[in-house]
Amino acid sequence: MNKENIPSLQLYQDKDHSTSQHQKLSLGCSVLDNLLKGGIPLVGITELAGESSAGKTQICLQLCLCVQYPYKYGGLESGAVYICTEDVFPSKRLQQLIDQQHKLRADVPPEIIQKMRFGNSIFVEQAADLDTFQQCITKRLSLLLARGMARLVVIDSIAALFRCEFGPAQSALKARYLQTFGAQLHSLSTRFRTPIMCINQVTDAVSESEAAQCSCRTVGSRVTPALGITWSNQLLMRLMVSRTSLPGPSPGAASHGSGSVRTLSVVFAPHLPPSFCCYTVQLEGVKGIK
């Protein structure tokens, strides 16, 4: 990209453009960061897919706090834009996470955490249909990124926008919309070096070949992320979360006060092999299990 097109604030924040190419956004947990070789890449669209209550929103809320930390603690020293397409923004849960940051982020000096005003740097947008979403990303989102007020975009969820808008006979039109939105989001990510996190829902995989086509096979999984191959082709990285109830207490889960085991899997990424780790959701946030 021509440097004349990059805002001066962005050049200042990145300091050295060549070294920042390898920078990632931390997830606020060393176990999860190790799985992803440092965290979420700054340029590109990352999808987080999984069934309801698997922990998708929890991870994204945690990222909205992580992005605000100084660079030396894995942050980007900026805010986040959270676009809700179906549910109301979970402000109560966010406040719990803010109040417990000193417990989750023991790697950060307490005086730094105390000075941070996390709630002031998360910009919530509501977009219940495609037209509103288009307006949001082309106007308000672009403005926040251009002003340096945000360096993370969360869309919760991308599938909800397409669930009711298109019938079976409109697959070609749906594909064009997906390609257009994918291109617009990727352009914003590249221009402002801002990770785009898209939460996606899952559907039952009809066959092994369908699962393989969407590059979504994970160990023991019989579900596939929604929106098909057209959307898959827009992604840099696909992550999947799952939650499995345990029939009885197990040492791994009991110690974390949970009757279920949650798994974060790397399905595909240009820089990572397929891999996974277990994690737990606690009051203070999401923590990987070693």
User: Largest Cα–Cα distance of the chain, in whole Å?
Assistant: 60
Six-digit token pair at 86?
């179906």
Higher-confidence residue of 135 and 211: namely 135
The answer to whether residue 268 scores a pLDDT higher than 80 is yes
Residue 261's pLDDT is: 86
CA angle 52, 58, 59 (to 5 degrees): 110
- DSSP strand pairing (237-245 vs 202-204): unpaired
Residues 35-86 pLDDT 10s:
999 999 999 999 999 999 999 999 999 999 999 999 999 999 999 999 999 9
Residues 118-150 pLDDT 10s:
999 999 999 999 999 999 999 999 999 999 999
Q: Which residues does 256 contact at the CB level (< 8 Å), separation at least 6?
A: 280, 282, 287, 289
Confidence of residue 16 (pLDDT cuts 50, 70, 90): very low
Instruction: Give the number of other CB atoms < 10 A from CB of residue 191.
Output: 17
Contact status, residue 271 vs residue 36, Cβ threshold 8 Å: no
pLDDT > 90 fraction of the chain, expressed in percent and rounded: 77
Return d(Cα 262, Cα 277) in angstroms, integer.
9
Residue 9's pLDDT is: 53
Higher-confidence residue of 248 and 71: namely 71
**Mean pLDDT confidence for 179-204:** 97
Q: Which residues does 255 contact at the CB level (< 8 Å), separation at least 6?
A: none
Identify which of 272, 254, 266 has the alpha carbon closest to the alpha carbon of residue 280.
254
For residue 153, the cross-strand partners are 81, 196
The answer to whether residue 255 scores a pLDDT higher than 80 is no
pLDDT > 70 fraction of the chain, expressed in percent and rounded: 82
Q: Which residues does 114 contact at the CB level (< 8 Å), separation at least 6?
A: none
Phi, psi of 84 (to 5 degrees): -95, 125
**Mean pLDDT confidence for 261-281:** 96
- Reduced to 3 states (helix: H, G, I; strand: E, B; else coil), residue 140 is helix
Identify which of 183, 189, 191 has the alpha carbon closest to the alpha carbon of residue 152.
189
Residue 1's pLDDT is: 46
